[in-house]
Amino acid sequence: MSSSTAINSLVKTGARLPPLPTIRDLVRLYKLRAIKQLSQNFLMDEQLTNKIVRAAGNIKDNYVLEVGPGPGGITRSIIRKFPRQLVVVEKDRRFLPTLELLAEASKDFLQMDIVRGDILEYRTEMAFPDCPKTEWTDKRAPVHIIGNLPFAISTRLLINWLREMSLQSGAWAYGRSSLTLTFQKEVAERIVAPMLSEYRCRLSVMNQVWSKPELKFVIPGKAFVPKPDVDVGVVTILPLKTPLTKVHFDVVEKVMRHIFSMRQKFCRRGVANLYPPDVRDELTQLTFRMADVDPEARSYQLSTEECLRIAEAYDQLMQSNPEMRNYDYRAPKHVANEEDY
């Protein structure tokens, strides 16, 4: 029986996955417990795992990459939506038996691949070799990344993915793949924060330059095991058809890091640190003139467009002064020695 025939049969008959222990029972059965060092928090409530998967939109016959499935709560909800292929990437070997149980139960209608590894090192472009590529300006790609992310790596992982998104590489080599992810509520608020928001930061701008992020709903911390000290936000991120700038991601990221480094001070203070001391005042003034931005505005008062004009001005100045491109004001000052002469 083909996978599509199997799925149609299951849908028509209202069939479900073969009877399986609940996720809570599996955790007890395999004596699983969250490891604090890995920022693990299990989500046991099936209604909430279903809600996360619904936030991803229609994933039937699509390709899904799940990050950090743990004991398989969200995994089970994904399987019930009948994707064409599901790849789960899990670092902790203790969860392999529960994931293998789900793979076995769904093998008649789903290709489920279990990868034991670190998502920070996983090459997402290798996940779905049979997935057709779509044009960037066409409809969204049939690829979804879903995950209850470990708090400790969530921001770093998101920045890595945004960089790949900007380059149309990794999971975005297939086209405009979407993300549905959990973050600490405060991080989720930062991702979607508009100008003037108390949460406005570098992460806000970096997301909004290349994507349309939405905070879909908040899950109370008490829904997780063990209970974290914070609530959790579920965010969807869809790449823009046309990014708001053509400046390279790394340049924009560097400039945003400087702009938001001194949140309560005038933004010129942060921008000034992009330049060496001997030309700092001159090039800082020139940057703001070229960008047509008020140097005495504070970073959170800047629109995304104003932030980008500063980045574009900096990029133009670096084309005329390439020797300054790698300047870092935090680096230790070089001490000359005999070999320098």
At 136-185, the pLDDT tens digits run 999 999 999 999 999 989 999 999 999 999 999 999 999 999 999 999 99
Determine the average pLDDT of the residues in 106-124. Answer: 96
How many domains does the chain divide into? 2
DSSP codes, 45-77: -HHHHHHHHHHT---TTSEEEEE--TTTHHHHH
Collapsing DSSP to helix, strand or coil, 212 comes out as: strand
Q: Look at 248 and 97; give whichever has higher pLDDT.
A: 248
- Token duo for residue 31: 């004596």
Residues 76 and 198 occupy one common structural domain:
yes
Q: Please state the length of the chain.
A: 341
239: Cβ contacts below 8 Å, ≥ 6 apart? 136, 140, 165, 172, 176, 177, 178, 210, 211, 212
> Distance (Å, rounded) from C-alpha 182 to C-alpha 170?
20
Residues 133 and 58 occupy one common structural domain:
yes
Where does a domain end: 209, 239, 269? 239
What pLDDT was estimated at residue 43?
A: 87
Does 334 reside within a domain?
A: no
Torsion angle defined by CA atoms of residues 160, 164, 167 and 173, in that order, rounded to the nearest 10 degrees: 180
Does 330 reside within a domain?
A: no
Residues 119 and 67 occupy one common structural domain:
yes
Phi, psi of 164 (to 5 degrees): -65, -40
Residues 273 and 200 occupy one common structural domain:
no
Residues 46 and 25 occupy one common structural domain:
yes
Does 141 reside within a domain?
A: yes
Residues 235 and 255 occupy one common structural domain:
no
pLDDT averaged over every residue in the chain: 89
Domain enclosing residue 45, as ranges: 3-239
Does 38 reside within a domain?
A: yes
Q: Please report where in the chains the tokens 């570098």 appear, as a residue.
A: 202
Q: What is the pTM for the complete model shown?
A: 0.88
Calculate what percentage of the chain has a pLDDT beyond 90. 75
Q: How confident is the model at residue 335 (pLDDT cuts 50, 70, 90)?
A: very low
Does 339 reside within a domain?
A: no
Residues 127 and 94 occupy one common structural domain:
yes
What pLDDT was estimated at residue 28?
A: 59
Give the angle 13-146-49 at the CA atoms, nearest 5°. 55
Give the angle 271-272-274 at the CA atoms, nearest 5°. 70
What pLDDT was estimated at residue 66?
A: 98
Where does a domain end: 239, 263, 282? 239
What pLDDT was estimated at residue 37?
A: 42
Q: How confident is the model at residue 33 (pLDDT cuts 50, 70, 90)?
A: low
Determine the average pLDDT of the residues in 321-340. Answer: 70
Does 253 reside within a domain?
A: yes
Determine the average pLDDT of the residues in 130-138. Answer: 95
pLDDT at 64 exceeding the cut of 50: yes
Picking from 16, 148, 128, 138, the residue whose alpha carbon sits closest to that of residue 62 is 128
Residues 150 and 228 occupy one common structural domain:
yes
Does 331 reside within a domain?
A: no
Determine the average pLDDT of the residues in 102-128. Answer: 95
Do the beta carbons of residue 38 and residue 119 sit within 8 Å?
Answer: no
pLDDT digits (tens, 9 = 90+) for 220-250: 999 887 788 899 999 999 999 999 999 999 9
pLDDT at 193 exceeding the cut of 70: yes
pLDDT at 188 exceeding the cut of 80: yes
